[in-house]
Amino acid sequence: MDSQTNSARGNHFYRALFISTFVISAFTVGGGFVIIPLLKAKYVDEYGWIKDKEALDLVAIAQSMPGVVAANASILLGYRMAGVLGAAIALLATILPPLITLTAISFAYEAFASNPYIQMILKGMQCGATALIVNVAIDLLSKQIKKGLLLPLMIIAGTFTANFFFDVNIMLLVLIDGLIGLFFMRSHKFD
Amino acid sequence: MIYIILFLEFAKAGLFCVGGGYASMPLIQAVVVDQYHWLSLREFIDIFTISQMTPGPIGVNAATFAGNKIAGILGAVSATAGFVFPSFILGILLAMLFYKYGDIGPIRGILNGLRPAVVALIIGAGFSFILLALWNSEAMPSDWAAVDLRGGIILLLAIIAIRKKQGVIPVLLGSGILGLVIGILQQY
């Protein structure tokens, strides 16, 4: 591996990491795999803090370990970008918004759920998140197509079909794809 | 101490919940509803509904909601902290191992296989969200012609904004404002 973690970062970096993660988490409705493309758009595409391939590796680990994927991903990405402190800051920024929102809502759930203006804002933000996810998906897919390797494209097609159309358990898919990788994809050309 | 019990019980749920998202619900339900009767099943199902329209992973939301209910804000903090604590320790250990051994043949193979899998899952999330934006349902719509026009307009404008290299946060906030404006206009 080329480098260890970038642990020596300035205060400016930590502030930017906290604020950007906090805002993404605060305005990403739906949880789970929805926040990951947005974190990628911010950390990789906008700030260039981490490379594409590395981000995908870390998300793959986040998906395979116990716990909530969004929290896991922020811990792993934060650790890569700025060591243990980075992991702590990214995790805190990921869980604080739901903690605050849910605490507020638990006092006034009915009012919140039936307020039409809140529903309008949430609907709008959900469409915005859709655009961002689609953009990240297109970007990642076209990179894989450009590489022109058959096996990864078959994994994408198979995993997508099983997950989206047949609701196959994600853990099972991760296990199968990991085994395919273990046996057939050790070559550096798949890196 | 209730805070310590909350922390430990949710740490256990966090440690054994593999698969994320909805996969974590039965574990949390076992603790919160069946074992301790902190929440009724009805309240527990409400958390699902709330999680559909609020930010945050459903597991974290459930921990926060249950913690609040049982022991106020400090309870929420204890439960949520407990829920993510195992992930924090495990995540840092795995990241360290990844940077030490990630380039060894078998590990590299597994990661090479998992990377396209992550791409596939992101594409799947994209499709689910398109259905939700345009037809207001995560399942296949029964009537494809019944497109939610408001969703379509915001989605289109948001895509244009991203292509013009607008940042993530301006796009999200702008879409929220647009949703409110179009929604209010539709009322007249």
Exposure string of A176-191, with b = 16+ CB inside 10 Å and e = fewer, is bbbebbbeebbeeebe
Domain residue spans of chain B: 2-101, 106-186
Whether A31 shows a pLDDT value over 70: the answer reads: no
Nearest to B156 by CA among B185, B184, B130: B130
Q: How many CB atoms lie within 10 A of CB B142?
A: 8
The CA angle B116-B120-B123, to the nearest 5 degrees, is 135
pLDDT digits 0-9 by tens, A170-185: 778 888 999 999 999 9
pLDDT digits 0-9 by tens, A136-168: 899 889 989 999 999 999 999 999 999 889 988
pLDDT along chain B (188 residues), means of 10: 92 75 69 84 73 73 85 93 94 90 84 90 87 83 86 95 86 92 91
Identify the H or E element spanning A77.
Answer: helix A69-107
- Tell if the CB–CB gap between A58 and B95 is shorter than 8 Å: yes
What is the pLDDT at residue B19? 57
In whole angstroms, give the CA distance from residue B66 to residue B71. 9
Predicted interface score ipTM higher than 0.85: no
Rg over CA atoms, chain A: 18
Angle between helices A116-147 and A150-160 (to 10 degrees): 150
**Which residue of B88, B129, B167 is in closest CB contact with A133?**
B129
Q: Are residues B58 and B47 in contact, defined by beta-carbon separation less than 8 angstroms?
A: yes
Residue, of B25 and A125, whose pLDDT is higher? A125
- Tell if the CB–CB gap between A91 and B103 is shorter than 8 Å: no
The two most distant CA atoms of chain B are separated, in Å, by 64
| Chain A positions in Cβ-Cβ contact with residue B149 (cut-off 8 Å) | none
| Chain B positions in Cβ-Cβ contact with residue A171 (cut-off 8 Å) | 18-19, 23
Q: How far is B65 from chain A (nearest CA, A)?
A: 6
Whether A107 shows a pLDDT value over 80: the answer reads: no
Q: What is the dihedral of CA B23, B27, B33, B35, to 10 degrees?
A: 170
